[in-house]
Amino acid sequence: MTRRLVTSALPYANGDIHLGHLVEHLATDFWARFQKMRGHQCLTICADDTHGAPIMVAARKKGIAPEELIARTLQQHTKDFVDFQIHYDHYSTTHSETNRALCSHFYKKLKEGGHIFKRAVDQHYCETDKIFLPDRFVKGTCPRCGVENQYGDSCEACSAVYHSTELREPRCSICDSTPVVRASEQFFVKLEDFRPFLSEWVPQHTSAAVANKLQEWLSEELKDWCFTRDAPYFGFELPDAKGKYYYVWFDAPIGYVSSTKEWCEQRGLNFKDFWQNPEIEIHHNIGKDIVYFHTLFWPAMLKSAGFSTPTSIWVHGMLTVNGEKLSKSKGTFINARTYLNHLAPEYLRYYLACKLNQGVGDIDFNFEDFVGRVNSDLIGKITNIASRSAQMLHKQLEGRLAHLPARGEGAELIKKAHHESEGIAQLYEERNFAKALLSIRSLADLANKYFDDHKPWILVKEDKEKTREILTVALNLFRIVAVYLAPILPRYAEKVAQLFKEEPYTWESSQHAVENGELNPFSHLLSRLDPKAVEAIVEETKELQQKTS
């Protein structure tokens, strides 16, 4: 039995779960469910990322304490994941005493290793709000191309990267006043100390595309990393520096470890069996926008603290909608809850699986393609097999299955479906869900062709037992397809298991047959997707934007 730990990037506690988040969390869920079906131990870990100035400011605007804001958000996030059938063995928060203690441990080890120093840095300070402003809380004119209304760290127009103090005509994003520049002493990690280790580690634990990108940074001296912020700041204060707080990107990834530790403590286990054990695989699933933090800062922190570094870091592209970036004004920045108000999660789980592979290219959610692919494939090709076959079996043949044929076309089709198991399993293992679904759909095509070629609706008038055999073959093919789909459509597969009077499926279930017994009455699996529901999602999203803008 292989032992694995897999994480998704921590959602920030300053907003709702949206479709962009779901790309990653669904991919993690697909892979982890597959591992468990194969009999492997696969611990899924995640948490809300709860610290930083944006949390503090958002709470202030609502007139509540930051602790209340993140508690509300945690409740919303976990409900969204549950309702999307996304399972985490433990979902926590970075604002925990476990995480605070581990932050102190990491800090102490970096300090003992001589990797920390202090120096004064210039920062924007808002005298109205009495706060040092994070880069994203400063806007102004790009110092490179002159485009207005750009963030304090980078320009969306020309992609230039700069320090916020370089902005022309800066203003505070909170109150729109002009900030002043103040010097403040901050703590830094000498990331260059870890460059020899990282140069060797990165190509062994990331894809070639990611490693090539990182080589641009690793080919020259790595910049020192400022990992502290000044009060007022919502987060954990350094144990030996009053008024200095860990920057959110310091304590957030430590949340992977602290959440594991919490899960272990609840079961009387030692978390070091996961994070200091070379026999355990550790996989991080992240978006390409946070590669730098997870492939340079985080491995360096782990190395310094004496913990295992990730076995692999999976990087995926961003979600676009109808070929464009998510847009609130266009109604395409869709929250998970807004989607669930109108449609079943199975549709999106299936559709995004059709798009997901190992690449880092962006993933497009096209409304027209979404409706067409779900109705054509999931409903028309896959669900239709069960609907036609099971209902006919109950209406005209007492709901009783025949013995499967020992030879002939039906036997060969069942044999082929069984044989596909390892090939599809390998695609799941490689996270090539799109290609796995191609193989699964091809089996559904064979089942439909078999059904249509034998015309059981006509044959039943002449030979009921032969019809029973035809339907038994078709239903067994459908059942095998449902087993292969179970990591993507878990509740759908549960309903199929109930139809066949079976226990929850394992991967090995695909190699078994169901014959010469009674089928439960067919119950609804999924309906066709109404395009009007998609329109309603967009309209509700626009309304939400108008209320909050």
CATH number for the domain that contains residue 368:
1.10.730.10
Per-residue confidence (pLDDT) for residue 2, from 0 to 100: 84
209 lies in some domain: no
Cβ atoms of residues 444 and 385 within 8 Å: yes
Same structural domain, 126 and 95: no
Within a 13 Å sphere around the CA of 202, how many CA atoms are in the beta-carbon half? 27
Same structural domain, 393 and 502: yes
373 lies in some domain: yes
Same structural domain, 145 and 22: no
Same structural domain, 437 and 391: yes
Domain CATH for 54 = 3.40.50.620
pLDDT averaged per 10 residues in sequence order, the chain, 549 residues: 94 96 98 98 98 92 96 98 98 98 98 97 92 88 94 80 89 93 96 98 96 93 94 95 95 98 97 96 95 95 98 96 88 96 98 95 96 98 97 96 96 98 98 98 98 97 97 98 98 98 98 96 95 97 85
CA distances from 117 to 89, 132, 225 (A): 38, 21, 10
The residue range of the domain holding 273 is: 3-110+247-316
How far apart CA 149 and CA 33 sit, in angstroms, is 44
Final residue belonging to a domain, choices 141, 157, 189: 189
Same structural domain, 480 and 387: yes
CA distances from 312 to 208, 315, 484 (A): 12, 10, 25
Same structural domain, 381 and 480: yes
Final residue belonging to a domain, choices 174, 189, 204: 189
Per-residue confidence (pLDDT) for residue 151, from 0 to 100: 87
88 lies in some domain: yes
Q: Which residues contact 388 (CB under 8 A, 6 or more apart)?
A: 451, 474
Same structural domain, 428 and 497: yes
- Number of domains comprising the chain: 3
Same structural domain, 37 and 167: no
Question: Which DSSP symbol is given to 509?
Answer: G
Same structural domain, 252 and 380: no
Per-residue confidence (pLDDT) for residue 156, from 0 to 100: 76
Same structural domain, 123 and 265: no
Cβ atoms of residues 29 and 271 within 8 Å: no
CA distances from 290 to 114, 301, 385, 460 (A): 26, 16, 43, 60
Cβ atoms of residues 258 and 99 within 8 Å: yes
438 lies in some domain: yes
256 CB burial (10 A radius; 0-12, 13-18, 19+): buried
Tokens 């200095």 found at? 244
521 lies in some domain: no
DSSP letter string, 209-232:
HHHHHHHHHHTSPPPPEE-EEESS
CA distances from 549 to 66, 111, 328, 539, 542 (A): 21, 44, 10, 15, 10
Same structural domain, 87 and 169: no
Same structural domain, 180 and 257: no
How far apart CA 30 and CA 485 sit, in angstroms, is 10
Q: Which residues pair with 244 in a beta bridge?
A: 230
Domain CATH for 128 = 2.170.220.10
519 lies in some domain: no
334 lies in some domain: no
How far apart CA 266 and CA 268 sit, in angstroms, is 6
How far apart CA 123 and CA 133 sit, in angstroms, is 7
199 lies in some domain: no
Token readout for 10 is 């921590």
Tokens 């779960």 found at? 17
